[in-house]
Structure 1
Amino acid sequence: MDTTKRQPRKLGWRFVLVAVVLAALIMGLVRSLWLDVYFIPSGSMEPLFQEGDRILVSRTDFAAEPLRRGDVVVFDGRGTFAPLSSGRGPIADAVSTAGQWLGLVGNDTTYVKRVIGLPGDTVVCCDLDGAVTVNGRALEEPYIYDGDVPSQQKFSVVVPPDRLWLLGDHRSASADSRSLLAAPGGGLVPVERVLGRPVRIIWPLDRLTDVPRPEPTDLTAKDGQ
């Protein structure tokens, strides 16, 4: 039996398979080092991000310029916001991981919040006008969800070295550092857990837009000092 006619077809499939594997490896490298895609699973960051948005996350922005108050960050919440293990089993975890990689579902251990307190800051809620204060000065927060107050929960926190105090923009619908005051770590996230900064909404197409960084805010001195 003559098999010479079937050889090109076999080579063709092998080429396609190798190309797909290489493309996946390159995409994985890009997403682990430079850019990633994150699915917004809730409305805790409205109005900036809406449930179902897909955002492009830069993993290198904070290497070029340090974190500052007002930055929106994507971070690994294991050990602070999330348990160390999902406990769903290997098959369910594998399916979930595939969906997360494709940007189709949210990640149980990855979160997006806004930096309110940097290492060394004293963050308090609230002053007589109802504003969150940082180092004794009222924080201007134009990004808060319309109709929300800065916080209905009172708190006073001194942010330790290498930690961050993080809140959602939709304060009444956000589980954030305030919710974990009594938990181990007190809701403070290690700086090293920050994965990157959202730079663009890429889906849905009618919400396609860049996500600019806020202007630097100087709150290093207290009022009257």
Structure 2
Amino acid sequence: MSGSGRHDGHGRLGNALSNLAVAVGCVLFLGGFAWGAVVYKPYTVPTDSMSPTVNAGDRVLAERVDGGDVRRGDVVVFTDSAWGAVPMVKRVVGVGGDKVACCDKDGRLTVNGKAVEEPYLRDGGASSSPASAGRAPASPQDFTADVPEGQLFLLGDERNTSLDSRVHLEDPGQGSVPRSAVQARVDAVAWPMNGMIGRPEAFAALPGGVSSEGPLPLQAGALVAGAVLILGGAAYGPLAARSARRSERPKVSAGAH
């Protein structure tokens, strides 16, 4: 009887812990999913203008942000009537008050006279003389633009084919778009699962620095932890019952025969 009581006590405790694990797992999983749905919006990128960072057909997760929170180096989703009034994905390389130009003697983009290394370009950008390094310049055509206050200057990472601020240099604002046009900031490529889009170090030294990482890693962690707790808690019951049945089998002595 005492052994049975111990087994019953262990069983009740195990079931309680199992139920608690499932309950906490559900909270984490559903909470992480709901949090992500509120903060992020999925987009499908239609062109290769941001290749190789984001390719045509990629499914990205973009954090809903205010245009005032955007920093240089961010990949953003925006809509502007001068660009066709459809959502577009480009990288911010200049903000209000900046002088953006290309290219310097080493083929690099410059912001306020400071050369910017762009490792996210297909060939890694021009970090030394293009002729000696065999690398293409940061833009196939030279340009200069003064970005008005409250505006953003945007380029695609595929500089040979991207239709970006360079195409609109003759427009008011010299190709820039208002911060209010920004709808979201791209944080990750969800499909294929290429992971987070980092903040370029080259822009960190400029005034304002780079934006902070979004909450996507925390949300993903909550989803994973929730799934593990749910599966672990749900699996405990059958495993505990199987273990109990094994322990209750009568032992046969060697001299029974």
TM-score range, shorter chain: 0.5 to 0.7
User: 1:160 is matched with which residue?
Assistant: 148
Q: 2:110 aligns with which of 111, 133, 142?
A: 133
Structure 1 residue runs without a partner (length 5+): 1-26, 85-108, 221-225
Q: Following TM superposition, by how much is the alpha carbon of 1:145 offset from its aligned partner in structure 2, in angstroms? A: 1.6
Q: Is the 8 A contact 1:119 1:164 kept in 2?
A: yes
Structure index of larger Rg: 2
**TM-score (normalised: structure 2):** 0.57
Q: Is the 8 A contact 1:38 1:57 kept in 2?
A: yes
Q: Following TM superposition, by how much is the alpha carbon of 1:199 offset from its aligned partner in structure 2, in angstroms? A: 1.6
Q: 2:182 aligns with which of 181, 194, 211?
A: 194
Q: Following TM superposition, by how much is the alpha carbon of 1:183 offset from its aligned partner in structure 2, in angstroms? A: 3.2
Q: Following TM superposition, by how much is the alpha carbon of 1:180 offset from its aligned partner in structure 2, in angstroms? A: 1.1
User: 2:167 is matched with which residue?
Assistant: 179
Structure 2 residue runs without a partner (length 5+): 1-33, 124-134, 208-257
**TM-score (normalised: structure 1):** 0.65
List structure 1 segments (4+ residues) > 4 angstroms apart after TM superposition: none
Question: Is 1:217 the counterpart of 2:204 in the alignment?
Answer: yes
Partner secondary structure for residue 170 of structure 1? coil
CA offset digits 1:28-58 (Å, max 9, x no partner)? xx86x63211111111111111111011111
Q: Following TM superposition, by how much is the alpha carbon of 1:212 offset from its aligned partner in structure 2, in angstroms? A: 2.8
Percent pairwise identity: 44
RMSD (Å), alpha carbons: 2.4
Q: Is the 8 A contact 2:67 2:182 kept in 1?
A: no
Name the stretch that deviates more: 194-203 or 53-62: 53-62
Q: 1:68 aligns with which of 52, 67, 71?
A: 71
Q: Is the 8 A contact 2:99 2:112 kept in 1?
A: yes
Higher helix share: 2
The CA distance in 2 between the partners of 1:154 and 1:162, in whole Å, is: 24
User: 1:116 is matched with which residue?
Assistant: 93
User: 2:211 is matched with which residue?
Assistant: none
